[in-house]
C-alpha cells in the first residue's frame, strides 16, 4: 500500500457516503482533516525519524518528506540521499528547464515522445553498473510538470477539465456508476501530482473507469429512448 493508494481508498469511501460533494458540512469536515494533517506534520517534524528504520518508521519518513519531495527543486545532485528524497522535484526542475529553453513548448508541449535530460546517468535500469543508467527519461513522477512538458498548457487544461467533469457526476443522480466515476476523477486529480494520474503506465484503474463510463452512457441513452 503506497501513500497514493491509501489516499485513493479514503477518496472512494468518502465518495460512497456522499462526502465528496461540496456542502457546508463537507467543508467543515475538510477543514477538520486539514487541521489533523497539520498536527500530524507538526509531530513528524518535531521528532527524529530514521529513513532506514522499521517498516512503520520508514513509512512515516516518506509521509514526512512528501510535500518537499514534490515541490523542493533546490537539490544537490551529488548528495544521493537528498536527490532520492526529492526525486520528483528534481525531475520537474529538469523538465521546466527544458521548457524554458523552448518557450513555445509552454503552449503546445514538446510532444509525447520527448525526453527529459537529467544531466547525469541515474541508476534507473536493472543493471546500472554495467550500462551506466539513464540520462534521458520519458516519464516523470510529478504529473503536472509531466503533462505540461508533453502537451503544454492546452493539453493540461483539457486534461484537468476532463477530470473535473468526471468528478461533477457526483452531483447527478446517485447511482453506482456516478459515485465511482466521480471518485476515480477525484482520485486522478490527486494522483496526477504524485504518479501522473491517467498517464501512469502501470495504472489499472483506467480500465475500470472505461467500463463505468460505458455503462453510464448506455443507461443514459436507454432512458432517453424510454
Among 92, 85, 48, 54, CA closest to 67? 85
Q: Are 18 and 173 in contact (CB under 8 A)?
A: no
- For 176-200, what is each residue's pLDDT tens digit? 899 999 999 999 998 888 788 888 8
Q: Is the pLDDT of residue 21 over 80?
A: yes
- The mean pLDDT value for 135-139 works out to 87
Q: Is the pLDDT of residue 128 over 70?
A: no
pLDDT value of position 182: 93
- For 157-173, what is each residue's pLDDT tens digit? 999 999 999 999 988 88
Q: Is the pLDDT of residue 58 over 80?
A: no
Buried residues in 113-150 as b, exposed as e (16+ CB within 10 A): eeebebeeebeeeeeeeeeeebeeeeebbbbbbbbbbb
pLDDT value of position 210: 92
User: Is residue 199 packed enough to be buried (19+ CB in 10 Å), middle (13-18) or exposed (0-12)?
Assistant: buried
Which residue has better confidence, 210 or 8? 210
Output the pTM of the full model.
Answer: 0.81
Maximum average pLDDT range among 36-45, 106-115, 133-142: 106-115
Among 159, 209, 214, 215, CA closest to 184? 209
Q: What is the domain partition of the chain in residue ranges?
A: 3-225
* 201 band by pLDDT with thresholds 50, 70 and 90: confident
- The mean pLDDT value for 107-121 works out to 88
- The mean pLDDT value for 206-210 works out to 92
Amino acid at each position: 500500500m503506497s501513500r497514493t493508494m491509501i489516499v485513493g481508498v479514503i477518496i472512494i469511501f468518502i465518495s460512497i457516503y456522499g462526502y465528496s460533494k461540496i456542502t457546508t458540512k463537507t467543508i467543515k469536515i475538510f477543514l477538520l482533516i486539514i487541521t489533523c494533517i497539520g498536527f500530524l506534520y507538526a509531530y513528524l517534524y518535531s521528532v527524529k525519524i530514521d529513513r532506514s528504520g522499521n517498516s512503520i518508521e520508514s513509512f512515516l519518513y516518506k509521509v514526512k518528506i512528501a510535500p518537499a519531495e514534490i515541490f523542493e527543486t533546490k537539490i544537490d545532485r551529488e548528495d544521493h540521499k537528498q536527490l532520492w528524497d526529492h526525486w520528483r522535484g528534481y525531475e520537474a526542475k529538469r523538465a521546466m528547464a527544458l521548457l524554458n529553453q523552448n518557450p513555445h513548448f509552454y503552449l503546445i508541449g514538446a510532444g509525447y515522445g520527448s525526453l527529459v535530460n537529467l544531466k547525469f546517468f541515474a541508476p534507473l535500469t536493472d543493471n546500472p553498473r554495467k550500462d551506466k543508467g539513464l540520462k534521458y527519461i520519458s516519464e516523470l513522477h510529478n504529473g503536472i510538470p509531466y503533462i505540461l512538458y508533453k502537451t503544454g498548457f492546452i493539453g493540461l487544461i483539457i486534461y484537468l477539465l476532463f477530470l473535473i467533469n468526471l468528478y461533477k457526476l457526483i452531483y447527478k443522480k446517485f447511482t453506482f456508476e456516478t459515485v465511482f466515476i466521480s471518485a476515480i476523477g477525484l482520485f486522478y486529480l490527486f494522483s496526477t501530482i504524485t504518479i501522473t494520474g491517467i498517464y501512469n503506465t502501470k495504472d489499472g484503474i483506467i480500465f475500470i473507469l472505461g467500463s463505468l463510463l460505458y455503462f453510464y452512457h448506455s443507461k443514459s441513452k436507454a432512458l432517453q429512448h424510454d
